[in-house]
Chain A
């Protein structure tokens, strides 16, 4: 018999927690994007676990679409990072504060 689904779900929750801690505390936009990938992977792991548990291939199809959207998001995000770096010579998100009221 396979490992219970709850183990994988707890693992995904831990991965989500680690990723969100990095998202909240790090300053570099590049590291923040990497933490975003961690969050997406945690959700993907949950989708696959439920696809196995509920025996529904739709969970795996959802992971497929999440991967496509993640690729698009990283492409545009890194393009924005490059553009910001040209103006500011920094990838720190604290530098982008001129709209502060």
Chain B
């Protein structure tokens, strides 16, 4: 029935993306070595990129690979190697009694609530009555053009604000990572 209603490549893309996302996410939690966790994170990020392509968000899929897998995870790996924590196991004791059980209950409630929200509202079924200009989301080069038009016209102020945010973040990171000798002596005293 499902195969009859939806195209096989779409279903295949969804299944591949879902497997990559869930396997990578569980890997981030399950492995003890932070380097392996970062590599699992890459798997999840590629799965999300596959989901982006399957939903005709081509530009975002490329940015996802370049920025997340290429820059953010590499930054994680740099810090892991720099700190030399790549072989230390995280603590397995529970300082708070029942923390894991409470967290599991909270997560189940969260997922259940989200799915219930999906099931009880009708916009997820593809009703496009509210916004419905009716044009499908553009793909390929026109997808880049559409996002560029939106970012540089409708969201221009937010775009400029992100430029300021990035500058502030870089300056802050440099300031945090700078080692000053007299401050170190103060810290040891």
Contact = CB atoms under 8 A, between A and B. Distances in A.
Contact of B95 (A4, A28, A94): A94
B51 to A, nearest CB: 6
A79 B67 contact: no
B6 A20 contact: no
Contacts, number: 253
B99 A55 contact: no
B72 to A, nearest CB: 5
Contacts of A87: 187
Interface residues of B toward A: which range? 35 or more
Interface string A12-37: 01111111111011111011011101
Contact of B28 (A22, A56, A78, A81): A22
Interface string B79-123: 110110100001100010001101110111011001100100001
A76 B172 contact: yes
A55 B176 contact: no
Interface residues of A, number: 73
Contacts of A2: 6-7, 10, 54-55
A3 B151 CA distance: 28
B154 A78 contact: no
Interface in A32-87: 33-35, 37-38, 41, 44-45, 48-49, 51-58, 60-61, 63-65, 67-76, 78-83, 85-87
Given A11-B14, A82-B177, 19 more contacts: A2-B55, A20-B110, A24-B107, A25-B100, A38-B41, A52-B56, A53-B123, A54-B128, A55-B131, A55-B132, A55-B135, A57-B138, A60-B60, A65-B158, A71-B71, A72-B165, A75-B170, A79-B173, A83-B176
14 contacts: A3-B13, A4-B6, A6-B125, A13-B114, A21-B107, A24-B107, A37-B41, A53-B128, A55-B134, A60-B57, A60-B146, A64-B63, A81-B79, A82-B83
